[in-house]
Structure 1
């Protein structure tokens, strides 16, 4: 069941994010990078939940996937806060952001991530946005490509402890 996340979900979302990183990242990152991602990327963004643009997928009462989109300027977690993070985007001229996509390792390749992306795209389009952008970590790139996102640029994402993760800036034109 895919539904909008509520504040009471935040502890379960955080646990899922951490488990997802520890399950999935080792196929793409070394031990140091995986540990940094588990520490710095596995932190839910309460603003997304408060905005009603973050979703969870439940199976048998457990949250097994999460993700969403944002009408705010923050592109990704892990690089520290920027003054413009809470600025509302102009849907006529700026793209919405896909944010914080995580799937539990034993639930990958079941369409859960795609379902969240479909919901995020439909809701962003309904809010007037024409484009989605995201900063993918390496485990997410295959999903985003399969969905129709195109690669814009490969980057290094600095974590607060100095470790850098490979990332891919991607964009998608809403149909």
Structure 2
């Protein structure tokens, strides 16, 4: 498929609505395992209860991707959207302006870390966003995801937090990246 990216260990493809339950299960496992070095169990539980890991509409928009191995096991997920994330009111996030979009729900299965899965998903996400007229991607990184985004060129805008109704909070970092224009060949 032209729109998919393959490596010898996994393929990155568009997620489909039928994939949502399995993707969500992987994301929750990822949050509990990989997030536990940065958040308390209570913070993770509250985040998952209030916001979950993904919005089904992102998959339906057609800009959401998943990585799977040769057996079909889901290794990671992520994508972009122009719509506001469900947590936007908790951090006063505004609607994305024209030419800007939001990276959403990037997760890697704990058993698949350090294999380039998240980087491959982000490369595919950025390429797809460029192909659809997006100049700038922004995101709200979890503390556990911050190092990845920083390594692939996202710059920190501000450290912030999601405020929960019980007055507890969930630390995160707002980041942004201007996408490079695709190179054209000289005639």
| TM-score of the alignment, normalized to the shorter chain, above 0.5 | yes
Which residue of structure 1 lines up, in the alignment, with residue 35 of structure 2? 25
Which residue of structure 2 lines up, in the alignment, with residue 11 of structure 1? 21
Q: Provide the C-alpha distance between the structure 1 equivalents of 2:165 and 2:121, rounded to a whole number of angstroms.
A: 28
Kept in 2: contact 1:36–1:161 (CA 8 A): no
Q: Quick check: 1:67 aligned with 2:75?
A: no
Give the TM-score normalised by the residue count of structure 2. 0.81
Residue 172 to residue 79, structure 1, CA distance change in 2 (3 Å): closer
Q: Quick check: 1:167 aligned with 2:172?
A: yes
Deviation, 1:89, is 5.1
CA RMSD of aligned residues (A): 2.1
Residues 1-175 of structure 1 correspond to what in structure 2 (within 5 A)?
Answer: 1-59=11-69, 60-72=71-83, 74=84, 76-78=85-87, 90-91=98-99, 95-160=100-165, 162-175=167-180
Q: Provide the C-alpha distance between the structure 2 equivalents of 1:132 and 1:154, rounded to a whole number of angstroms.
A: 17
Give the TM-score normalised by the residue count of structure 1. 0.86
- Structure number, greater radius of gyration: 2
Aligned residues: 167
Q: Provide the C-alpha distance between the structure 1 equivalents of 2:178 and 2:41, rounded to a whole number of angstroms.
A: 35
Specify every segment of 5 or more residues in structure 1 that has no aligned partner in the other structure, as ranges: none
